[in-house]
Chain A
Amino acid sequence: MAYTRARRVLPGFGLSLGFTLAYLSLIVLIPLSAVFIKAAGAGWERFVETVTSPRVIASFELSFGASLLAAAINVVFGLMLAWGLVRYTFPGKKLVDALIDLPFALPTAVAGISLTAIYAKNGWLGQPLSLFGIEVAFKPLGVLVALVFIGLPFIVRTVQPILEDLDAEFEEAAASLGASRLQTFRRVVFPAIVPALLTGFALAFARAVGEYGSVIFIAGNIPLVSEITPLMIITKLEQYDYEGATAVASVMLIVSFILLLIINGLQAWTARRSGRSA
């Protein structure tokens, strides 16, 4: 495909490539590079000192850990939701389908406040849970709950069209060849939806890492316990510590970028293995 000078059927390759690069630079690359330039302003030692301080390290652990875990939880349950929506018809299906998108549409602060109200010790769910000694609000668990909430639609909406496209004929074919339900799922259905699941995972993860509004209410923001990285950045900004804030942000950017790159790589690998882009 690459740079052959052969005549193309579709015109405007140069123009569209140029536009893509220029637009991406303007919207994404230039603002992001400003982060690194600003962070570099304070010098290497300040930088290292800032990003290795215990509070910042703890926030990295919480942010990335909870985001990965939340995305993983959403992969499992989002897949089940998508499956139910695609494979069965039931009264109110359209309504349920519309509800899935609600975490997209809801202002994140509203989500945060309502989650806090429900999971606080005197809340609808917090009260019964506290009887079992489980505390959600103002704990890392609360962060996880909020991230699961906002990440759900990403999985459902990426997997749903693929499942719809996956004809029941494939399952029938597997059954007629003697495969059990579990074998059919593991060998026929699952491999077909892995790329979509990975995409959904990447999107849910990326959203979770950057999430601020819904988390800060339920997290309680206790230093070393339930402070997320975006909050650390805001805190530093409020103290006019621009270098510190951009230093934390640049580490966050690099780690996110590497993780997303890995997920994309995985996706390309599964696609190659299944002959989709061979």
Chain B
Amino acid sequence: MSIEVRNISKSFGAFKALDNITLDLPRGELIALLGPSGCGKTTLLRIIAGLEHADRGAVILSGQDASDKHVRERHVGFVFQHYALFRHMTVFENVAFGLRVKPRSERPPEKVIRERVHRLLELVQLDWLSDRFPSQLSGGQRQRIALARALAVEPQVLLLDEPFGALDAKVRKELRRWLRRLHDELHISSVFVTHDQEEALEVADRIVLMNKGRIEQIGSPREIYNEPATSFAYGFIGTVNEFRGRVEGSYVRVGNDLLPHGRTDLSDGSSVVAFARPHDTEIVKGEGGEGVAARVNRILTNGAITRVELLANGEAREGKKDYFEVEVTPDDLVALGLSTGERVRIKSKRLSLFGDQK
């Protein structure tokens, strides 16, 4: 089922949770709604599900306006962050719930319910737990049961609210991989909410990046990572070095330092913020010349890549020191011969500049 969101706005009192959101989600994809907490991603998911109603705008499911439909009638499977498994029912009864509450005319016979529940439990690899109660399961198992329960009614679309939010790091990674595999098997249109960029980049076909009730960027994980469209996108996804300053010819003046930017379309004196990924940033020895001055703070060797953490020379901004991170290959590290505490300069050939709104 395709999901279309048209001009959705939603406020909670004076707080604008969603500001005129329009979004087209094609069928069959696994989509991540990504953003910091409070960006409106969960509200958007709940509006798509029908658990929350928009102040303005429409939700169109499979080409039909579903805005006034009750969550019961939307045929969406919803998986809650804290699972919301019915505590007084066994795992089996939890999964069977959606089938048992169907109107008598549509309700499958007991034998069919049994078969279907066991098939779903096998799908989530937990058939052996069917007689247990939710309180006897681990977090990861509960999440998988919640998923099986949502799938039991054969929903057109699967919506997951921070599905791995309450799990520890190891289980999280396993479940991520498992969700991806499950999606590749079932091809059901799925949308999941997350604030974890790594999770979104790893699992989703497509990422919708949100901030302050607006969409910042929509794209594949590769696009989102390599071609961030806005300064927010740059800052939110991945590790990044950030420089704020003013344009001076072919340089950005950052404090007392000059950072070459290589662009020609910038007017002198405009405030900009410049970003560079750690692997696109280079270290230059010596104190003079172009680049932003910094001091080597720590050298972290972890596998093939060495990360060099540097402390900005300038005084602390807003009470906290600026750190930079540069990734260097072992060869470069030997060539540079860095030592902790050494004063160096950093610059980048692939600097991305955005007008500074602040």
Mark A residues whose CB is within 8 Å of B: 167, 169-170, 172-180, 183, 187-188, 191-192, 273-276, 278
Contacts and interface: CB of A to CB of B under 8 A. Distances in A.
Interface in B101-140: 101-102, 132-136
Interface magnitude class on chain B: 20 to 34
Interface stretch (B68-76, B242-250, B320-328, B347-355): B68-76
B84 A173 contact: yes
A192 B97 contact: no
Given A170-B84, A187-B86, A278-B133, 19 more contacts: A167-B82, A167-B84, A169-B84, A172-B84, A173-B78, A173-B80, A173-B84, A175-B71, A175-B72, A176-B50, A176-B77, A177-B152, A177-B153, A178-B101, A180-B72, A188-B86, A274-B88, A275-B88, A275-B134
A179 B84 contact: no
Contact of A273 (B71, B88, B100, B149): B88
B116 to A, nearest CB: 14
B132 to A, nearest CB: 8
B97 A179 contact: yes
28 contacts: A169-B80, A169-B84, A170-B84, A172-B78, A173-B86, A175-B51, A175-B72, A176-B50, A176-B77, A176-B78, A177-B97, A177-B150, A177-B152, A177-B153, A178-B98, A178-B102, A179-B72, A179-B97, A180-B72, A180-B101, A187-B100, A191-B89, A192-B87, A192-B88, A275-B88, A275-B135, A276-B88, A278-B136
Contacts of B149: 173, 177
A183 B101 contact: yes
Given A172-B71, A175-B70, A176-B71, A275 B90 contact: yes
A188 B85 CA distance: 10
Contacts of B76: 176
Interface of B: 49-51, 70-72, 76-78, 80, 82, 84, 86-90, 97-98, 100-102, 132-136, 149-150, 152-153
Contacts of A191: 88-89
B190 to A, nearest CB: 15
B72 A187 contact: no
Given A176-B51, A177-B98, A276 B84 contact: no
B302 to A, nearest CB: 40
A193 to B, nearest CB: 10
B45 to A, nearest CB: 12
B312 to A, nearest CB: 45
B309 to A, nearest CB: 42
A173 to B, nearest CB: 4
B88 A178 contact: no
Nearest to A172: B51
A187 B84 contact: no
Contacts of A275: 87-88, 90, 132-136
B206 to A, nearest CB: 23
Nearest to A182: B101
Contacts of B70: 175
A43 B34 CA distance: 82
Most buried by B among A174, A178, A278: A178
A175 B150 CA distance: 11
Contacts of A274: 87-89, 133
Nearest to B81: A169
Contacts of A273: 88
A275 B90 CA distance: 8
Contact of A187 (B50, B97, B152): B97
Contact of B80 (A172, A179, A180, A278): A172
A188 B98 CA distance: 12
A275 B91 CA distance: 11
A175 B239 CA distance: 41
A271 to B, nearest CB: 9
A167 B72 CA distance: 19
B101 A177 contact: yes
Contacts of B136: 275, 278
Nearest to B70: A175
Q: What are the 4 A-B residue pairs with the smallest beta carbon separation, nearest first?
A: A275-B133, A274-B88, A177-B98, A173-B84
A153 B50 CA distance: 37
A259 to B, nearest CB: 25
Contacts of A276: 87-88, 135
A35 to B, nearest CB: 40
Contacts of A178: 72, 98, 101-102, 153
A189 to B, nearest CB: 10
A217 B106 CA distance: 58
Of B72, B80, B90, B132, the most chain A CB neighbours within 10 A belong to B72
Contacts of A170: 84, 86
Contacts of B135: 275-276
Nearest to B88: A274
Contacts of B77: 176
Nearest to B80: A169
